[in-house]
Amino acid sequence: MSRIFLDVGDFVVNAGEVVALLGGNGAGKTSLLEGILGFRPTARTVKLFGQDVSSLAVEQRVALGVGYVPEGRRVFAGLTVRENLEACSTASAVERRRRVEQMLALFPMLGERPDARAWLLSGGQQQMLALARALMNEPRLLLLDEPTLGLAPVIVADLLEHLARLAGDGMAILLAEQRAGLALGAAGRAVVLSRGRVVRMAPARELAADPALADLMAAG
């Protein structure tokens, strides 16, 4: 099986790597992620795990093995932490419970209050819940949209550590970020988007040292 888990025409994301998707506000990062998921039409040809998915609905694309952490977290507010996780699972009851316990162990922040309603959680806890929820069905590709927004630096570090470990286990991760400094520290490669188009593609280390990056990011 090919190691290219995501192919959107002008760039790909391989198994086991974190790719940073950079760009200012309005550069088209969210549109691209929603296009990959099938929430909105896109001019690009999207291939997930080598398969052209243009005729598939959102649920079908997700079922191929895609996890999604949306901008603004969007946890199910009235459900408890445990219920948020369980509701996402497509597995049998026994397997479902095993996965939930696994997630609660993986994210100690959630493990402390499994029965709290999601809207009572702090921003950091909600972000971890959104991530744990995306991992419930053991995806092979993870899409994250501005996951660090509004989080304290300690929690950002914790989050990025989780992503690095997941990539180490073979997951493909596309991390859309406006805060290029953070994302470049966590990614191997980076793609810069401006007005919906890819304007730069480079190894993260090379881009981080590039003085032109600030202008690219500010240009939107």
Binding residues for another protein (CB under 8 A):
24-26, 37, 39, 58-59, 62-63, 68, 70, 72-79, 83-84, 86-90, 93, 96, 118-119, 126, 133-134, 136-137, 146, 148-150, 153, 177-183, 213-215, 217-220
Q: Which residue, 2 or 122, is less far from another protein as judged by CB?
A: 122
Q: Which residue, 168 or 220, is less far from another protein as judged by CB?
A: 220
User: Is the backbone of residue 191 left (phi > 0), alpha (psi -120 to 50) or beta?
Assistant: beta
Smallest distance, Å, CB 214 to another protein? 4
Q: Which residue, 13 or 100, is less far from another protein as judged by CB?
A: 100
Contact between 172 and 14 (Cβ < 8 Å): yes
- Using alpha carbons, select from 181, 127, 120 the residue that is nearest to residue 159: 127
Smallest distance, Å, CB 75 to another protein? 5
Distances (CA, A) of 12 to 45, 129, 140: 12, 27, 14
Distances (CA, A) of 152 to 124, 125, 132, 155, 158: 8, 11, 19, 5, 10
Smallest distance, Å, CB 111 to another protein? 19
Smallest distance, Å, CB 90 to another protein? 6
Smallest distance, Å, CB 103 to another protein? 13
Smallest distance, Å, CB 165 to another protein? 21
Q: Which residue, 82 or 189, is less far from another protein as judged by CB?
A: 82
Q: Which residue, 29 or 189, is less far from another protein as judged by CB?
A: 29
Q: Which residue, 8 or 130, is less far from another protein as judged by CB?
A: 130
